[in-house]
Amino acid sequence: MKLKLHVWRQNGPNDQGKLETIDAPSVSPDQSFLEMLDDVNQTLALEGKDVIAFDHDCREGICGMCSQVINGVPHGGQDRTTVCQLHMRKFKDGDEIFIEPWKARAFPVIKDLVVDRNGLEKIMQAGGYTSCHTGGVADGNALPIGKPVADYSMDAAECIGCGACVASCPNSSAMLYTGAKVAQLAVLPQGKIEAAKRVMAMTEAAKENGFGNCSNHYECQASCPKGVDVKFISKLNREYMKALVK
Amino acid sequence: MILDGKCPTGPIETSWDRHRFESKLVNPSNKRKYKVLCVGTGLAGGAAAASLGELGYQVEAFCYQDSARRAHSIAAQGGINAAKNYPNDGDSVYRLFYDTIKGGDFRAREADVWRLAQVSNNIIDQCVAQGVPFARDYAGYLDNRSFGGAQVSRTFYARGQTGQQLLLGAYSALSRQVKAGTVKLHERREMLDLVVVDGVAKGITCRNMVNGDIESHWGDAVILATGGYVNVFYLSTNAMGCSVTAAWKAARKGAYMANPCYTQIHPTCIPQHGDQQSKLTLMSESLRNDGRCWVPKKTEDCEKPAGEIADDDRDYYLERKYPSFGNLAPRDIASRAAKEQCDDERGVGPGKRGVYLDFADSIKRLSEDTIRERYGNLFEMYEKITDENAYKQPMRIYPAPHYSMGGLWVDYNCMSNVPGLFVLGEANFSVHGANRLGASALMQGLADGYFVIPYTIANYLVTVKPGEVKADHEAFKASADAVKADIDKLLSINGTKTPSEFHRELGKIMWEKVGMARSDESLKEALKLIPALRDEFWKNVKVVGTNEQFNQELENAGRLADFFEFAEILAKDALNREESCGGHFRTEHQTNDGEAMRNDEDFCYVAAWEFKGAGVEPELHKEPLKFDNVKLAVRSYK
């Protein structure tokens, strides 16, 4: 296949940035999207040109490192698929593809398609844990947890922290990301104890780090590569209300 | 030199307890005076940094990713072993110890493995307390599944993403310590040198991957938890950024590299599809609980769709060869068996390098929904990559490089031969011998990080004065200058081949000559080809861009330069080890039916290599292995 790429090039957070058109002349349908970019970069490198910078690591859809908006949609719009798991068979010969970085005030561009997602770290550091220290905990079976509760918690824990929810949201809200962690821990007996403190601290950190609020567009769920459900945002709101009246 | 692992003597059942009691302690008010650097934030590094921070040490943690949560432990799918014996099926600390020693083909230290088995139960408790959503049954109790090399169900899991959930648990503990101010995180940093002062590890030099700054960081101890090196094969199941670099920089400063030839080739990966491929994807070993491996009995059937081959014409080769373990034979054995079938021209799929992993019987027995609940995410991943539906037709799988049992040499305290340098998890060589059993990597990473290093590091720290050497010491400047010189050299060559072209070529040599089957001849060829390619690399590599920018080409070139030096040691170790054991298979040393043949008389030792410079003969140091609790025997899974 022959493709025409329009790739966002930006040299640092203060650079203006622009779309650059680059040809991808021989793309195999079995290649992943990132392997296609690898090829393009090989050609650029051999011509002595600056290669396209993009974040990636595990290339099996779990590390959450890859972060590209493809044709306007984070991760390219395939159901529950990260960029690294997107394959070129989903495109056809002659396609023009627009490739941009996550766009959100909270995610300044480092270079080209690479952004700084440190704001997400700050939310987690504010309270995304149970305050247990290593050692001295009870036997794993001492606290039976019903299967539906364990499954609900696991559904929330699927989040890979890529930030697609933020990138797709008109408000750059991190509510799905935050809600997933709040919900995972709030339903478990070992996480309930600190639930109120946690939800307050995490939402406060989200605000402080430039993430907006939720206005029910649900773009986050649509673009989430793990299909994390917006019901966890509702859960976040309920936990927040409970904490407020405490 | 004969190395001493400093293992406790006496009855093994009490060895760790006695060692803990005899270890020195750092008084709580003195802990904050010590600074510990921890490189890598996967299960071992993340757990270590969090646990040491909780104890009150000043910890600084480093990772090359943009977040500590992205370390490659996250990709582990199947599960984590523990000797809980919840299913009442006969498990015990002793059995887990025994299975691990036997699984490793009698090439690991007994005392280290015993400790691992002993603390395995604490790990599960710890993770549950952190809120890790392990699979549970309807009564609310923890569920188990089976893994290779064991006849009990001792594997705890969280769907098909156990590594992710355990890592997020460690990451949450780490995040808590960052908030508490005991741990400082440095993301997007790559360690490019170990700083050694008077023979003692005192810090690291690293590159800030965003702006190219070369940074000096001092510490009273340095922990490397930097994972494995199988990206030396280019195509592997490791993440793209996984490299030998941090470990190799330590080796260049005197740390010994132990058993580098023990590499694990995982039997169930998605076969390679073309030359442009950048990595291989694992399909969890847990699939072998319900999937049956087979190939057509007749070569002419290999082109036919699987559904058209009658049951009688299928060779369920693992069940045939290993009736008592069947599809759950250990990884090294299952991988070689798959290779054997393909070498026998009975492989399937493009290029005929593949075997079937078939779920039809299990779907009939249990229903498609049950299989979906157990492995849904794996089937989805398989479909995304291959465009095939594994509920309707069997998966095609083939072995791929996955894990390294070898690594930096450490003593029982997880300290390398360089005092002050500790090595944890996959980066060290300690517990898996010549073959790692499934679900044991997660166990080792967390054991080392949560329950070993917090005790053993104190034993060392009491011997040093906190903050004695800081970053203003001349050794740091010398190290930074050397790192800069290496980077300048890479950038100045301006040749005609990119780092990734060289990496592919190196990988091809390693896979063909030093891969699943090795011979005297193939290894000697590799030892000619590797240095030649390395020389070409240093004359003809083209690295675009500058140091003072976000530069992935430069990162790749630097990692590859280390792989080039390391690859030679790996091949040398494989050549030296004139026996077959676990993942190391020398074609000259096999039984009549093609099984690995050990030579306990001459090779029952750990081979620890001292690097003396590229192209210079490394020196071999040996640590003899003693088996007092498990009888050295021929490993049989028949």
What is the mean pLDDT of the segment spanning A228-237?
A: 98
- Do B506 and B589 share a domain, yes or no? yes
Are B503 and B599 found together in one domain?
Answer: yes
Mean pLDDT by runs of 10 across the 638 residues of chain B is 94 98 96 98 98 98 98 95 97 98 97 98 98 96 91 93 97 98 98 98 98 98 98 98 98 98 96 88 90 96 94 96 93 93 94 95 96 88 93 96 98 98 98 96 98 98 97 98 98 98 97 96 98 98 97 98 98 98 96 92 98 96 97 88
User: Which chain B positions have a beta carbon within 8 Å of A55's beta carbon?
Assistant: 66
Q: Which residue has the tokens 């083209």?
A: B542
Q: Alpha-carbon distance B126 to A92, whole Å?
A: 49
Q: How many residues does chain B have?
A: 638
User: Is ipTM > 0.95 here?
Assistant: yes
A24-35 pLDDT tens trace: 999 999 999 999
Q: CA nearest B546: which of B308, B212, B320? A: B212
Helix (H) or strand (E) holding A23: strand A18-24
Task: Tell whether B272 and B390 lie within a shared domain.
Answer: yes
Residue of B nearest to A40 (CA): B276
| Nearest by Cα to B144 from B74, B94, B93, B85 | B85
Closest CA to B207 of B563, B566, B547, B561: B547
Q: Is B348 in the same domain as B481? A: no
For chain A, the structural domain boundaries read 3-111, 118-245
Nearest residue on chain B to A146, alpha-carbon basis = B140
Within 8 A by CB and 6+ apart from B181, the residues are none
Residue range A3-111, CATH number = 3.10.20.30
CB of B366 within 8 Å of a chain A CB? The answer is: no
| CA distance to partner chain B, nearest, from residue A95 (Å) | 20
For every residue of B24-64, DSSP letters joined together read ----HHHHTT-EEEEE--SHHHHHHHHHHHHHT-EEEEE-S
Instruction: List residues of B with catalytic annotation.
Output: 331
Determine, yes or no, domain membership for B340. yes
CA A107 to chain centre: 11
**Is pTM beyond 0.90 here?**
yes
CATH number, domain of B607, equals 1.20.58.100
Q: Which of B368, B400, B432 is the last residue of a domain?
A: B400
Cα-flanking dihedrals φ and ψ of residue B499, to 5°?
-55, -40
Quote the CA–CA distance of A160 and B472 in Å, as a whole number.
40
Residue contact A129–B172, C-beta within 8 A = yes
Domain holding B530, by residue range, is 474-623
Choice between B351 and A236, residue whose per-residue pLDDT is larger: A236
* CA atoms of B423 and B415, how far apart (whole Å): 6
Residues B382 and B484 in one domain: no
Residues of A in contact with B84 (CB under 8 A): 140-141
CATH class of A118-245: mainly alpha
The CB density around residue A53, as the number of other CB atoms within 10 Å, is 22
Three-class SS state of B524: helix
Residues of A in contact with B51 (CB under 8 A): 133-134
Residue B457 forms contact with A (CB below 8 Å): no
- pLDDT 10s digits, A142-165: 999 999 999 999 999 999 999 999
**Whole-angstrom Cα distance, residue A114 to residue A13?**
10
Specify if B287 maps to a domain.
Answer: yes
A88 DSSP assignment: G
My answer on whether B479 and B615 are in the same domain is yes
Assigned domain for B368 exists:
yes
A52 contacts: CB under 8 Å, gap ≥ 6:
A7, A9, A22, A37, A40, A41, A44, A112, A113
Residue B283 domain flag: yes
Q: What are φ and ψ of residue B17, in 5° steps?
A: -60, -40
Q: Which region holds residue A61: left if phi is over 0, alpha if psi is between -120 and 50, else beta? A: left
CA count, 13 A, side-chain hemisphere, B555: 25
Provide the Cα torsion B4, B6, B9, B13; round to 10°: -120
What does the alpha-carbon distance between residue B328 and residue B637 come to, in Å, rounded to a whole number? 9
End-to-end Cα, chain A, rounded Å: 60
For chain B, what is the domain count? 2
For residue A53, the chain B residues in CB contact (below 8 A) are 550, 552
The residue from B375, B400, B425 where one domain ends is B400
Interchain pair B240, A59: CB under 8 A: yes
Taking the Cβ of residue B88 and every Cβ of chain A, the question of whether any pair is shorter than 8 Å is answered with: no
Q: What is the pLDDT of residue B275?
A: 81
Least Cα separation, residue B495 to chain A (angstroms): 9
Calculate mean pLDDT across residues A221-228: 97
Q: Do B383 and B503 belong to one domain?
A: no
Give Cα separations from B581 to A44, B259, B391, B441 (angstroms): 45, 12, 36, 19
Contacts of B135 in chain A (CB under 8 A): 150, 154
End position of a domain, from candidates B366, B400, B434: B400
CA proximity to B47, closest of B186, B171, B182, B164: B171
Q: Do A157 and B241 touch (CB under 8 A)?
A: no
User: Do B506 and B600 fall within a single domain?
Assistant: yes
Q: Which pLDDT does position B564 carry in this prediction?
A: 98
**Closest residue, chain B, to A150 (C-alpha):** B133
Token pair 């060589």 is found at B429
The reported pLDDT for the residue numbered B98 is 97
Please report the residues numbered 545 through 564 in chain B whose beta carbons come closer than 8 angstroms to any beta carbon of chain A: 545, 549-550, 552-553
Residue among B552, B554, B556 with most chain A CBs within 10 A, to mutate: B552
Task: Quote the Cα angle for A47-A48-A49, to 5°.
Answer: 90
Containing H/E element for B380? helix B368-386
pLDDT confidence of residue B434: 98
